[in-house]
């Protein structure tokens, strides 16, 4: 299983990379706008500038979205994005234009002998996941949190997609997206999802357990007793 960070924030991506556990990065227009609008710069930075900085941090796959929903523009913007690096994966919303663009980008890759990786995002049903796999997309991003938000169980979708993908040996990888809590992560891993993409705040939470904190406190307090009294004077051991 891989852990992607769901962020366009350079500090957050760097922190996860420094831990040695970064499997990839997912961005979307919302995350890019959030990051760029909080960056004070006179150079009027854009998505490509930000992606260039992310690419300097790590050699993992970085999912980046063309903004336009129209086929021609998806291709144009997608090709601009992949010029940055073969680590850029063109992430496209689940529409007929998007699925046609996956095919076109693959053909372009073959013609030019370049590897162009694609992802289909905003997956909310098994049918959408099947279409994406049949189109030969490299990754899909099913959104669990947004399904929970409308009263459905987002994790049921992951369970069903993994069952269908296994039945037909589909090669498309499943990155569980819209992760809101640790349960989304461990349940996804039980269903065999290839990856989860997780906001930095929740990655931090993954480290924590009350008993770990208490255990460290006890190690330190026991050690402090020895340092103060010497080994021979510690009775409770
Ligand atoms: C990832 O690819 C998605 O862009 C992201 O997980 C969406 O999460 P949200 O539903 O919290 O916006």
Range 82-89 average pLDDT: 97
Any idea which of 113-122, 175-184, 225-234 has the lowest mean pLDDT? Answer: 225-234
Q: Tokens representing 126?
A: 């098994």
Domains identified in the chain and CATH numbers? 2-229 (3.20.20.70)
Confidence of residue 235 (pLDDT cuts 50, 70, 90): low
Q: Which of 140, 197, 199, 203 to mutate to test the pocket of ligand 1 (most atoms within 8 A of CB)?
A: 197
What local confidence, expressed as pLDDT, does residue 30 receive?
94
Range 3-15 average pLDDT: 97
CA angle 82, 94, 77 (to 5 degrees): 25
Residue with tokens 């990379």: 17
Any atom of ligand 1 within 6 Å of the Cβ of 118: no
Sign of the dihedral through C-alpha 126, 132, 134, 138: negative
C-alpha–C-alpha distance, residues 120 and 118, integer Å: 7
Confidence of residue 226 (pLDDT cuts 50, 70, 90): confident
What local confidence, expressed as pLDDT, does residue 227 receive?
81
What local confidence, expressed as pLDDT, does residue 42 receive?
53
pTM listed for this prediction: 0.94
Ligand 1 atom having least distance to the Cα of 63: 2
pLDDT digits (tens, 9 = 90+) for 29-73: 999 999 998 876 656 669 999 999 999 999 999 999 999 999 999
Confidence of residue 230 (pLDDT cuts 50, 70, 90): confident
C-alpha–C-alpha distance, residues 203 and 197, integer Å: 10
C-alpha–C-alpha distance, residues 52 and 11, integer Å: 14
List all residues 6 or more positions away from 12 whose beta carbon is below 8 Å from its beta carbon: 5, 200
Range 72-88 average pLDDT: 97
176 against 231, higher pLDDT = 176
Any atom of ligand 1 within 6 Å of the Cβ of 27: no
What local confidence, expressed as pLDDT, does residue 232 receive?
74
What local confidence, expressed as pLDDT, does residue 231 receive?
75
If you measure from the C-alpha of residue 229 to the centroid of ligand 1, how many angstroms do you get, rounded to a whole number? 54
Q: How many CB atoms lie within 10 A of CB 95?
A: 16
What local confidence, expressed as pLDDT, does residue 236 receive?
60
Sign of the dihedral through C-alpha 119, 100, 32, 43: positive
pLDDT above 70: residue 237: no
pLDDT digits (tens, 9 = 90+) for 17-32: 999 999 999 999 999 9
C-alpha–C-alpha distance, residues 162 and 126, integer Å: 9
Polymer length of the chain: 237
Annotation says 15 is catalytic = no
Catalytic member of 14, 70, 91, 182: 91
C-alpha–C-alpha distance, residues 139 and 2, integer Å: 13
Ligand 1 atom having least distance to the Cα of 119: 2
pLDDT digits (tens, 9 = 90+) for 177-222: 999 999 999 999 999 999 999 999 999 999 999 999 999 999 999 9
pLDDT digits (tens, 9 = 90+) for 133-157: 999 999 999 999 999 999 999 999 9
């Amino acid at each position: 299983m891989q852990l992607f960070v769901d962020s366009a924030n350079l500090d957050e991506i760097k922190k996860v990379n420094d831990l040695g556990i970064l499997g990839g990065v997912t961005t979307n227009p919302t995350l890019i706008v959030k990051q760029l609008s909080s960056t004070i710069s006179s150079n009027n930075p854009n998505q490509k500038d930000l992606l260039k900085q992310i690419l300097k941090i790590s050699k993992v796959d970085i999912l980046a979205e063309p903004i336009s929903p129209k086929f021609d523009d998806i291709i144009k913007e997608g090709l601009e994005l992949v010029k940055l690096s073969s680590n850029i994966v063109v992430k496209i919303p689940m529409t007929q234009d998007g699925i046609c663009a996956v095919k076109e980008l693959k053909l372009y890759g073959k013609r030019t002998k370049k590897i162009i990786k694609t992802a289909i995002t905003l997956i909310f049903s098994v049918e959408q996941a099947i279409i994406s796999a049949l189109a030969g997309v490299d990754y899909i991003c099913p959104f669990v949190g947004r399904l929970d938000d409308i009263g459905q169980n987002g994790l049921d979708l992951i369970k069903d997609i993994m069952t269908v993908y296994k039945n037909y040996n589909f090669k498309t990888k499943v990155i569980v997206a819209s992760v809101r809590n640790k349960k989304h992560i461990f349940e996804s891993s039980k269903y065999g999802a290839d990856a989860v993409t997780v906001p930095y705040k929740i990655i931090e939470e993954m480290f924590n357990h009350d008993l770990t904190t208490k255990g460290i406190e006890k190690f330190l307090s026991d050690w402090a007793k020895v340092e103060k009294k010497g080994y021979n004077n510690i009775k409770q051991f």
